[in-house]
């Protein structure tokens, strides 16, 4: 809320500061404790719910929780099966984890932007951001993990030699003079994947968060109009971004995995 | 908006979560799903099988019913014929019996008539003898005229 002593831009700036833990002289050696905390909380909520349902999973008539969990498991399984021809022992759980985890991250964006930071401030914590997907470290942590999996599955699907040959010969041809161009092209292609994955999710959620912060600057009696409109729009964005992240991960990995 | 150590923490967390899901969530749920799929498939095929069996049983029952009906009508026909036969035979028997009884009665009547006739004859002879004796004023010796008397009686 707008308070007299701070300018609007100061408030926005304040909202965009992370709770950090710095090792040594900072820079890269810094941890965003709030991002880690909420990504763990949402992740543990996901694992807790799904584990509770899985432990009591019955082939008979499923309960409410099992039903919901089954919907998501089948959704992830089908999404993987549609694009990926290999075994789904790992890919299925991967897709499920990405979808639900990112979905929970994004859902945190719907909590009123001031609630938890205000609570944290009351406990003496000055900076507190609760949406992990509005932190580049979280989205890139995920997308770079996906990058590693892309390389791993590339080698697994084509063999180390086959994968290397693709790097040397793939887009332009197998002439020796084309090798540098091929490597460059593959490098760009490879890097573009995690960057686009991470940036897309981050951009959407970061922008949404800023809009919510701006809406929160309005007088209290008018906030609900743009707030509601933006939240309703955002409800579409939340699962869409989670779905996109999952689907693109599957597509990238299956592209790397399959022989051309 | 700096990239920092958080990124690596997130990556590690991610892999831990994926492995947990892979170990403790995915197989259980999928097993339940597959099991249920199998159960449903079995149930459906069982339903189809039993409906086919029902159809068969219905046909069989119809066949049996048709046979039973045929048999029943045969039995009724037989019974009708038997009863007609019985009645016919009873009628014949009764008629024969009546005939026999009538014949017997007729024979008896004949006998009695004959008896009465012969008695009458004897009486007439006696009367004739008595008449003749009166006319002749003496006893007629029946023995002497036996032959003539017998011829007379036979003529009567």
Contact A186, A256 (CB under 8 A): no
Mean pLDDT of chain B: 90
Pairing of strands A30-32, A20-22: antiparallel
Question: Rounded to a whole number, what is the distance in Å from the CA of A102 to chain B's nearest CA?
Answer: 11
- Whether the predicted pLDDT of A1 surpasses 60: no
Average pLDDT over every residue of A96-114: 91
Which among B5, B20, B31 has CB closest to A47? B20
What is the C-alpha separation between B68 and B88, in angstroms, rounded?
A: 30
| A48: three-class secondary structure by DSSP | helix
Contact A102, A242 (CB under 8 A): yes
Q: Which residues contact B14 (CB under 8 A, 6 or more apart)?
A: A97, A101, A141, A142, A145
Per-residue confidence (pLDDT) for residue B141, from 0 to 100? 67
Per 3-state DSSP, what percentage of chain B is helix, strand, and coil (rounded to 5)? Answer: 90, 0, 10
Which residues of chain A make contact with B39, given a CB cutoff of 8 A?
A: 59-60
What is the C-alpha separation between A67 and A172, in angstroms, rounded?
A: 49
- For chain B positions 21-80, those within 8 Å of chain A (CB to CB) are 21-22, 24-26, 28-33, 35-36, 38-39
Average pLDDT over every residue of B59-69: 96
Q: What are the tokens at A223?
A: 């906030």
Any B CB within 8 A of A96 CB: yes
Is the pTM value of this prediction over 0.90?
no
Average pLDDT over every residue of B32-52: 94
The ipTM value here is 0.85
Secondary structure, 3-state, A10-36: HHHHHHCCCCEEECCCCCCCEEEHHHH
What is the C-alpha separation between B156 and B153, in angstroms, rounded?
A: 5
Q: Do B21 and A96 touch (CB under 8 A)?
A: yes
Q: Do A142 and B5 touch (CB under 8 A)?
A: no
Contact A201, A245 (CB under 8 A): yes
- Whether the predicted pLDDT of A24 surpasses 90: no
| Radius of gyration from C-alpha coordinates of chain B | 61
What is the C-alpha separation between B13 and B119, in angstroms, rounded?
A: 153
What is the C-alpha separation between B86 and B75, in angstroms, rounded?
A: 16
Per-residue confidence (pLDDT) for residue A260, from 0 to 100? 63
Q: CB atoms < 10 A from the CB of B77, how many?
A: 10
DSSP-derived secondary structure for B49-104:
HHHHHHHHHHHHHHHHHHHHHHHHHHHHHHHHHHHHHHHHHHHHHHHHHHHHHHHH
Contact A95, A79 (CB under 8 A): yes
Per-residue confidence (pLDDT) for residue A8, from 0 to 100? 79
Which among B6, B17, B24 has CB closest to A101? B17
What is the C-alpha separation between A184 and A90, in angstroms, rounded?
A: 30
- Whether the predicted pLDDT of A204 surpasses 50: yes
Cα nearest neighbour of B10 on chain A:
A141
Contact A249, A95 (CB under 8 A): yes
Which residues of chain B make contact with A136, given a CB cutoff of 8 A?
A: 1, 3, 7
- Whether the predicted pLDDT of A14 surpasses 90: no
Per 3-state DSSP, what percentage of chain A is helix, strand, and coil (rounded to 5)? Answer: 75, 0, 25
Which among A43, A46, A57 has CB closest to B28? A57
Q: Do A145 and B21 touch (CB under 8 A)?
A: no
Average pLDDT over every residue of A72-98: 93
Contact A19, A34 (CB under 8 A): yes
Which residues of A are the active-site residues?
Answer: 196, 200, 204
| B38-44, Cβ contacts within 8 angstroms, sequence gap of 24 or more | B38/A59, B39/A59, B39/A60
Helix and strand numbers (H, E) in chain A are 8, 2
- What are the tens digits of pLDDT across the range B118-140? 999 888 888 888 888 888 876 66
Cα nearest neighbour of A95 on chain B:
B18
The mean-pLDDT minimum among A83-87, A116-120, A156-160 falls in A116-120
Per-residue confidence (pLDDT) for residue A244, from 0 to 100? 95
Cα nearest neighbour of A35 on chain B:
B6
Average pLDDT over every residue of A73-93: 92
Cα nearest neighbour of B8 on chain A:
A141
Per-residue confidence (pLDDT) for residue A230, from 0 to 100? 92
């Amino acid at each position: 809320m707008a308070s007299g002593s701070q300018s609007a831009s100061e408030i926005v700036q304040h909202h965009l500061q992370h709770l950090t833990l710095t090792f040594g002289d900072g820079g890269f050696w810094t941890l965003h404790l709030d991002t880690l905390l909420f990504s763990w909380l949402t992740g543990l909520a996901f694992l807790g719910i799904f584990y509770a349902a899985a432990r009591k999973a019955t082939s008979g008539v499923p309960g409410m929780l099992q039903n919901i969990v089954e919907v998501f498991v089948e959704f992830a399984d089908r999404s993987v099966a549609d694009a990926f021809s290999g075994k789904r022992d790992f890919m299925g759980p991967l897709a499920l984890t990405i979808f639900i985890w990112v979905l929970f991250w994004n859902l945190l964006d719907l909590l009123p932007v001031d609630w938890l930071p205000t609570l944290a401030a009351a406990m003496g914590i000055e900076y507190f951001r609760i949406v992990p997907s509005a932190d580049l470290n979280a989205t890139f942590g995920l997308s770079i993990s996906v990058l590693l999996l892309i390389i791993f599955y590339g080698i697994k699907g084509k063999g180390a030699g086959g994968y290397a040959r693709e790097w040397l010969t793939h887009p332009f041809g197998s002439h020796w003079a084309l090798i540098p161009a091929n490597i460059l092209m593959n490098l760009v292609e490879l890097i573009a994947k995690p960057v686009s994955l991470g940036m897309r999710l981050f951009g959407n959620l970061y922008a949404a968060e800023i809009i919510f912060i701006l809406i929160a600057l309005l007088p209290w009696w008018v906030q609900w109009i743009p707030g509601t409109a933006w939240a309703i729009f955002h409800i579409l964005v939340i699962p869409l971004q989670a779905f996109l992240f999952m689907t693109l991960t599957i597509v990238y990995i299956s592209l790397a995995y399959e022989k051309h | 908006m700096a990239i920092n150590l958080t990124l690596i923490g997130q990556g590690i967390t991610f892999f831990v979560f994926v492995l947990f899901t892979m170990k403790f969530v995915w197989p259980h749920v999928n097993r339940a799903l597959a099991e249920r799929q199998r159960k449903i498939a079995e149930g459906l095929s069982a339903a189809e099988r039993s409906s086919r069996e029902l159809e068969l049983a219905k046909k069989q029952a119809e066949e049996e019913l048709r046979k039973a009906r045929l048999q029943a009508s045969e039995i009724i026909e037989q019974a009708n014929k038997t009863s007609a036969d019985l009645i016919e035979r009873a009628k014949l028997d009764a008629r024969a019996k009546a005939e026999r009884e009538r014949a017997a009665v007729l024979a008896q009547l004949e006998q009695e008539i004959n008896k009465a006739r012969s008695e009458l004859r004897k009486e007439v002879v006696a009367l004739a003898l008595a008449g003749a004796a009166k006319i002749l004023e003496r006893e007629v010796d029946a023995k002497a005229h036996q032959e003539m008397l017998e011829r007379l009686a036979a003529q009567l």
